[in-house]
Structure 1
Amino acid sequence: MGVLLVAALLAASLFTGVYDIIHAEDGWEMFGKTRVPRTIALVLAGAAMAMSGLVMQLLTQNRFVEPTTTGTTEWAGLGLLLTMFLIPGASVFTRMIGAVISAFVGTMIFFLFLRRVSLRSSLVVPIIGIMLGAVVSAVSTFFALQTDMLQSLTIWFAGNFTSVFEGQWEVLWIVLVVLAIVWVFADCLTVAGLGEDIATNVGLNYNQIMILGTGLIAVASGVVTVVIGQLPFLGLIVPNIVSLFRGDDLRSNLPWVVLVGIAVVTVCDLFARTVIAPFEVPVSVVLGIVGAVVFVALILRGRKRNG
């Protein structure tokens, strides 16, 4: 039933838009060059960010973290900006490499900080991540101002699927490789999520799994940032919804997380396309509003349960 529902949403995405693909002379050509790539991008981006949130929450043992609450997306944006400055004619793949390297470094800095500092409240972790992301974003904005790239930075961080068309989105297929690797190492990542002591006692190389998980998060976040931009709170909403019903086993939850992630981003994109048609609201705005409400609801739920 879930697959059928998502398939219906994707079909609605294919036939939603201002351009009349049925009666226009070049309608089906536009359908193949814009609508199909956009819908595939919805699937891959939704799956990537939902999966990244799930893995990050397991590794940090915290329900409130995901790439946009730990600064990972901001680090990816900084790497993208530096790549564009150093290599003005950089291809999409080259920009992706720069974003991935920067996201990996930033995420490792966040994880190392968590390992060295004892935190009493789980809510402090995303607050620190948001503060770190704000600092990195400030550095990116200052650098963009100095190099006359502020407009490009604004476009990149306003997550939107309008820029997805034939020839610009194909690097998103890398997400499928990331998902396959997560599936293979799902049990190891689940055990690592129980803590370093338990993982070491059962014979798991904790540091290697942490580096692997960080690398997978960096690749997924970097690719989505380059092609789509920022998709806030998606990795926070989806894993928490799934874990409420299915617990914390990564292997059994991964298909559901991917499916719900695709559904959430598709619904938000459809709303963004139709709410002020023929104009379009950035999907990041819709996700930001929905994610903020869910974030507050999770905080209140946790306080009520602990109280």
Structure 2
Amino acid sequence: MSVTTRSTRTTPPAALAGGVVGLLLLAGASVMIGVADVSWEVLWVSRIPRTVALVLAGAALAVCGLLMQLLVRNRFVEPSTVGTTEAAGLGLVAVTLLAPGAPLMVKMAVAALFALAGTWLFLRVVRLMPVRETILVPLIGLMLGGVIGALTTFLAFHHDLLQTLNSWMTGDFSGILAGRYELLWLVAGLVVVAFLAADRFTVAGMGESFSVNAGLDHRAVVAVGLTIVSVVSAVVVVTVGVIPFLGLVVPNLVSMLLGDNARRGLPWVAVLGAGLVLACDIIGRLVRYPYEIPVGTVMGVLGAAFFLYVLLKRAPRAD
């Protein structure tokens, strides 16, 4: 289960600055689009919080995708293809049933623990595979996610929580208001931690033997990386729902352009991840204006198409 090593390419700082400018333009468009007339109250209560939430969630989920691809050493994995987000949803249903009055932070903590357990279960299953074909790994993750999702749906149906579950599992920013998104600032801090430890994640992505020879505690780095992924996934699911395939699309695009160095690629991954979520949100708000299509739905269509493209491109062809 190896990652194809690409040559590291350099990009001038002006290119990244151009990406930031493009992100700011998308953010400006997001702030101005809406049914209600623009006023200071609408801006500060709804439009600006929604745009900030889009940027934070998009950047963090894209970075999580890069971390998972490095640590698992597979280009096809990200939280929505290995059961991480489904496990977070199961955790939310469990804490809702056992402690319906629990504070939001408690629900987030339980969801993060379930997400971490789901991710470790995926890694355990992958290690037990006799043959670790690159394409089989995400397919196993999707099947594991399907099993966890089926269990979650059964519990939600049995306890009349299907509507609540659907709100968690659909990435929708229409309900974001001031006071209901601030938990996402936590994921911004975790993105900073990921950037500070980027070199360690790059070395860990070269395999355990290489990491040990380089003097790196491979298990500790993997634990830190998976903890970041699990907490970010839980926070995003609790706040806005699931945004599928984002962590698959963006890191692969950046890797094609810049290579596999995490420190060089992380800023681009964060900027493009935030920009892609903003673009999907704008599309969803304009296609059926004045109604909205959830961001998770738009990203799911685009991400699934990209996933199939990459799978077909990498799949071996018979002569």
1:11 to 24, 28, 39: 28
Asked if structure 2 preserves the Cα contact closer than 8 Å seen for 1:81 and 1:144, the reply is: yes
For the 8 Å contact 2:285–2:293, the answer to whether it is kept is: yes
d(CA) in 1 for partners of 2:309 and 2:40?
A: 43
- Cα distance in 2 for partners of 1:169, 1:83 equals 20
Write out aligned runs for 1:104-253 (5 A).
104-253=116-265
Q: Secondary structure at the match of 1:68?
A: helix
TM-score normalised to the size of structure 2? Answer: 0.92
In structure 2, the residue matched to 1:28 is: 40
**What's the CA shift for 1:145?**
1.2
User: Take 2:106 and 2:243, find their aligned partners in 1: how far apart are those partners?
Assistant: 21
2-structure distance, mates of 1:249, 1:226: 31
TM-score normalized by the length of structure 1: 0.95
How many aligned positions are there? 302
- Secondary structure of the residue aligned to 2:266 is helix
SS in 1 for 2:315: helix
Structure 1 residue 84: deviation in Å? Answer: 1.6
- The structure-2 alpha-carbon separation of the partners of 1:304 and 1:260, relative to structure 1 and needing over 3 Å to count, comes to farther
Gaps of 5+ in 1: 22-26
1:117-176 deviation line (CA, Å, top 9, x unaligned): 233421100100000000000110111112111110011111100121111111100012
Match of 2:19 in 1: 2
Matched residue SS, 1:83: helix
Of all paired residues, the percent bearing the same amino acid is 44
Residue 306 to residue 186, structure 1, CA distance change in 2 (3 Å) = farther
CA shift, 1:306, in A, is 10
**Which is worse superposed, 63-72 or 84-93?**
84-93
The aligned residue for residue 24 of structure 1 is none
Q: Could you list the runs of 4 or more consecutive aligned residues of structure 1 that deviate by over 6 angstroms after TM superposition?
A: 304-307
Closer/same/farther in 2, CA of residues 36 and 215 from structure 1, 3 Å limit: same
CA distance in 1: counterparts of 2:128 and 2:213, whole angstroms: 21
Q: Unaligned regions of 5+ residues in structure 2, if any?
A: 1-17
- Aligned partner of 2:74 in structure 1 is 62
Specify the SS of the correspondent of 2:80: coil
Amino acid of the structure 1 residue aligned with 2:70:
L
Distance in 2, matches of 1:159 and 1:306, equals: 39
The separation in 2 between residues aligned to 1:90 and 1:31, in whole angstroms, is 31
Alpha carbons 2:126, 2:132 under 8 Å: kept: no
Give 1:88 shift: 1.2
The 3 A distance-change label for structure 1 pair 306 and 68 is farther
Alpha-carbon distance in 2 for matches of 1:294, 1:119: 25
Aligned pairs for 1:60-99 (under 5 A) are 60-99=72-111
Cα distance between partner residues in 2 of 1:180 and 1:242: 18
Code of the aligned partner of 1:207: R
Residues 85-143 of structure 1 show CA distances to partners (whole Å, capped at 9, x for unaligned) of: 22212232222111111101111111122223233421100100000000000110111
Q: In the TM superposition, what is the alpha-carbon distance from 1:304 to its structure 2 partner?
A: 6.9
1:258 maps to a residue whose letter is A
In 2: Cα distance, 1:243 partner to 1:305 partner:
23
Is contact 2:92-2:110 (8 Å) kept? yes
**Coordinate RMSD, CA, aligned:** 1.4
How has the CA–CA distance of structure 1 residues 48 and 306 changed in structure 2, closer, same or farther, with 3 Å as cutoff? farther
